[in-house]
A and B are shown apart, each in its own frame.
Chain A
């Protein structure tokens, strides 16, 4: 399989296939369908390099990110999504949200 991420971030390829998702809707659904061990592992692995990853993306203008860098940004977006579950709720779902739903229907790209 060809690499999804820039070579500098090859160590995250195993997460990329699962978490490089272009929309919030997909990321939120993936979070709901994931177990805490999976998300905990992704969170722990990526934490140390978040800042570097942001800086790497910022070598390019925001509207001209190469495809592999766009996927790195998607991975960062997923990392934000996963952090809510890992740091705070200790479960995929928002605590005390019952069956409430809120769909994101519009978002800036990337």
Chain B
């Protein structure tokens, strides 16, 4: 079968990006010691997205984020000067966790004028400065100006709040993101504020779930039961090909072609999709977002379905042609566990009909994601058995190859650098 979409002159996307075509080792996904190296070489150096500015609507708004991969918890807060800052969530007196609600290991959010420690009531301003010590006279030579909260580098890009745990970041945030990602500037992320958030703990290495969402080769097979037989059979026979891939620095992109569900015969659709005019690709009635920046659909695919921008190391922005987007985060908690977060963003619905099309799209997203998640634990178990180490990846799996290569390169290059 000849390819549906033209391959690059080298004959494949894999070779086009200068990647090896041999089998790929998954030793990077089953080893506690390799995970320790990833933490130092990648997660302590890269800019990590921890949320969006809409979560911090006014001065005093804050949220906490548990970052097991950095062995810390942070509090992200909007100050009186509107500046967004990130601090290690630890009291300078005797180390109590400063901001938490019911349970100290659960994330929380809220609004306050200052932070007060639950232990001995030391108080901190929204800018992290220590403002009050209970019975200050009892202390020896304390200098409040030296005992503010310990900050973490924090920068905002297009409303996405990033932190960097390095003492001195090696790149500014925009440098780190690079031109492929910054070409998305101007996309109306700030208008798409109607959020459906999802979360789960997965018993698999973080890269395995990245892999699962970085290829669509699985789609006609793993998701075949999501569609009426008529569509499923046709999809499986056709197989899957993406029209466009791109790689830039540590980041990568796949675009897919669009499907005009509303032009399909009803036998290929779920009745509910027809009734709600919504589904996997989002609401059928496209949201009007005005002109989009050049970074969207850079391969100029027509019809265009979506762009999945995979930002190194653990953040995905997936922009849909129907005028909405979603994000994925994969937060490692050990070499074989991670927390997955998925967020679906739409324009705020203006009526119930729009709200239902969004609900249908969000519910469908979850039904698919549950299938995507199901293979991970089984894969992790068998990778850990160690009987097979290397696996053949095809050209539609080129982005997995790139992820594992970049992870390996970062870890390799960092080897020997003093911590």
Which residues of B lie under 8 Å from residue A106 when comparing CB positions? 195-197, 343
Which residues of A lie under 8 Å from residue B359 when comparing CB positions? 77, 80
Would you give the shortest CB distance from A58 to chain B, in whole angstroms? 5
The reply on B276 being an interface residue by CB < 8 A is yes
Q: B363 contacts which of A80, A89, A95, A105 (Cβ < 8 Å)?
A: A80
Count residues on chain A whose CB falls below 8 Å from chain B CBs.
36
Count residues on chain B whose CB falls below 8 Å from chain A CBs.
43
Q: Are B353 and A54 in contact (CB under 8 A)?
A: yes
Question: Which B residues form the contact surface with A (CB < 8 A)?
Answer: 194-200, 222, 225-228, 270-272, 275-276, 340, 342-343, 348-353, 355-356, 358-360, 362-364, 366-367, 369-371, 373-374, 377-378
Taken together as a complex, chains A and B put the C-alpha atoms of A83 and B272 apart, in Å, by: 7
Which residues of A lie under 8 Å from residue B351 when comparing CB positions? 57-58, 62
The reply on A21 being an interface residue by CB < 8 A is no
Which residues of A lie under 8 Å from residue B342 when comparing CB positions? 102
A108 with B373, Cβ < 8 A, contacts A80-B363, A84-B363 known:
no
Q: B225 contacts which of A28, A88, A104 (Cβ < 8 Å)?
A: A88
Q: Are A88 and B363 in contact (CB under 8 A)?
A: no
A87 with B270, Cβ < 8 A, contacts A96-B374, A101-B200 known:
yes
Q: Binary interface profile of A, 73-110, with partner B (CB < 8 Å = 1, else 0)? A: 10011001101100111000011111111111111101
Q: Are A104 and B366 in contact (CB under 8 A)?
A: yes
Some 30 contacts from A to B, beta carbons below 8 A apart, are A24-B363, A47-B275, A50-B275, A58-B351, A58-B352, A58-B353, A62-B352, A76-B352, A76-B356, A80-B356, A81-B363, A83-B271, A89-B225, A96-B222, A100-B200, A100-B373, A100-B374, A101-B370, A102-B198, A102-B199, A102-B370, A102-B373, A103-B198, A104-B366, A106-B195, A106-B196, A108-B194, A108-B349, A108-B355, A110-B355
Q: B377 contacts which of A81, A88, A98 (Cβ < 8 Å)?
A: A98
Known contacts A62-B350, A62-B355; 12 additional CB pairs below 8 A are A57-B351, A76-B352, A77-B359, A80-B356, A83-B270, A84-B272, A88-B228, A100-B371, A100-B373, A102-B200, A103-B199, A108-B348
The reply on A29 being an interface residue by CB < 8 A is no
A104 with B373, Cβ < 8 A, contacts A54-B353, A54-B356, A94-B367 known:
no
- Among B227, B270, B369, B370, chain A packs the most CB atoms within 10 A around the CB of B370
Which residues of B lie under 8 Å from residue A37 when comparing CB positions? none
Q: Are A108 and B195 in contact (CB under 8 A)?
A: yes
Q: Which 10 A-B pairs have the closest CB atoms?
A: A106-B197, A100-B373, A57-B352, A97-B370, A83-B272, A98-B374, A95-B225, A100-B374, A100-B370, A94-B370
